[in-house]
Structure 1
Amino acid sequence: MPSQLLRIVSFGYGHAKPRPSCNLMVDVRHLVDPYLDPALRDLDARDPRVQRAVLRTPGAPALLAVIVTAGYQLLAQAADAEPVTIAIGCGGGRHRAPALAMHAAAQMDHVDALRVQAVHRDIDEQLLPAGAGATAP
């Protein structure tokens, strides 16, 4: 049986790049930004401290559950070999979006016949100034 592919792409609205092509786009700019904490600002979501800060944000665990549930629903409706993409965007693409993408991928990666890829488009981009990408372009 061929496996289905779920791509979870994190990105930053503040970069001058087109939004990723996807089946579902989730905007997480409403969550508290770890950028505001000087101890976390220069880190990214690969650091466990950033992940903890994002997941401790009120509403983040519930939103993560919604992303995972939506992923399963989209996969159930997709043709057998058709890939499904969920894009998760925050201001700069270094903290909130990749942390949620990583955790969603980890929660779904154990399912047989499902390949999950977490792709972090902007995680290595230059840190943006405060407020960049705060509103949709």
Structure 2
Amino acid sequence: MQITHLDGLGPVTAVIRSIGVRHDGAHQLVTDGLYLDLSKALRNPAHDPAMRYLTGLHREVYAHVLRTPGARELIARTAVQLRALADEVPRGHLVRLTVACQGGRHRSVAVAEAVARRVWTAWGGECGVDVEHHHIDHPVLPASR
């Protein structure tokens, strides 16, 4: 697992997870909060041989995912939902978002990072945001049927 931490003046308020739903135990990581499944929503960089073995943390994969029609709007809406959820829970409680795709290396990683940055910026750096990439270092999965 790899973690990105966006530091804030206050405590970590949001935890965003990226997962690959085709990995054993992935569904056990979905506990509470919001859930966003990108399996059919965005084009998969794994289909491009030049990006197949990279991750959503690589600039070219990140850009590819965000250039997918509708991706930026999806990220913006998800960030708004996460902030709205944070406004409804008592101060000091965590809000969670799980972002899923098939393998957890490309789309979910890029979108989780983009949502985290958008939420952190909207909070003006007052609160911290952690991003956990649970399957980023797992082997690339064979194409699904």
Same fold (TM over 0.5): yes
1:29 paired residue among 39, 57, 62: 39
The equivalent position to 2:70 in structure 1, one of 38, 45, 59, is 59
Range moving further from structure 2, 111-120 or 66-75:
111-120
Partner of 2:113: 102
Aligned match of 1:47: 58
Q: 2:12–2:130: 8 Å Cα contact kept in structure 1?
A: no
Q: How many residues align?
A: 132
Distance 1:45 1:3 in 2: 26
Matched, 1:9 2:17: yes
Q: Which secondary structure state, in structure 2, belongs to the residue aligned with residue 109 of structure 1?
A: helix
TM (norm. structure 2) is 0.85
Greater mean alpha carbon deviation, residues 104-113 or residues 87-96: 104-113
Shift of the 46–4 alpha-carbon distance from structure 1 to 2, 3 Å rule, reads closer
Residue type at the aligned position of 1:22: D
CA distance in 1, matches of 2:62, 2:11: 29
Give the conservation status (yes or no) of the 8 Å contact 1:8–1:118.
Answer: yes
The yes-or-no answer on 1:79 pairing with 2:87 is no
Aligned to 1:117: 130
Question: What percent identity do the matched residue pairs reach?
Answer: 31
Using the alignment, how far apart are the partners of 2:92 and 2:32 within structure 1? Answer: 16
Listed one character per residue, the Cα deviations across residues 69-112 of structure 1 (whole Å, up to 9, x for unaligned) are 01100100011111011000000000000100011111222324
3-state SS, counterpart of residue 89 of structure 1: strand
